[in-house]
Homo-oligomer: A and B are copies of this chain.
């Protein structure tokens, strides 16, 4: 189980998990990694006059077609009003469409239009490039560890929601 020589700047974690230094390191890497990744798609969004909030909605609708409004609200953890504005923008640009639910006609099922799918796929390419590069540099066992730690950061009550996203690949 040799440490790959690809990432020599990273010494292995010490057995003392609770030391401040290791916690700070995680905080910092998460901050920089997350913010830099999100910035990688800003340009593509700006071309359409959209922001990151729009991308988050697009992303999760792409991931789970026929998602309902309330399911999306749980995922994003924002208010109905905030989401409403975002979805109106996306509908106005013909990126998202809704139908009413067949079982429960009060529900609105969200889907990307063809145009929306194309746009989401284009944004996703930037994410894919960044993450694939990082995965390749870190090595396979590192990716598994990356996932495991992040899962542990998600509160137990939210984990089922995240797992559901990844069920129907």
Interface residues of A (CB under 8 A from B): 1, 3, 7, 9-10, 12-15, 17-18, 20-37, 56, 59, 63, 77, 124, 127-128, 130-155, 158-159, 162-163, 165-166, 169
> Does A138 contact B143, Cβ atoms closer than 8 Å?
no
A17 near B155: Cβ-Cβ < 8 Å: no
By the criterion CB–CB under 8 Å, are B165 and A27 in contact? Answer: no
Q: Are A63 and B17 in touch, CB under 8 angstroms?
A: no
How long is the Cα–Cα vector from A113 to B38 in the complex, in angstroms?
33
A146 and B26 form a contact (CB under 8 A):
yes
B63 touches A24 (CB 8 A): yes
- Would you give 22 A-B contacts (Cβ < 8 Å), ordered by A? A1-B15, A7-B152, A9-B159, A12-B141, A13-B140, A15-B140, A17-B132, A18-B135, A23-B135, A26-B143, A27-B37, A27-B127, A29-B150, A29-B151, A33-B149, A36-B154, A36-B158, A130-B153, A135-B152, A137-B152, A145-B148, A146-B148
Which residue of B3, B29, B131, B133 is within 8 Å of A27 (Cβ)?
B131
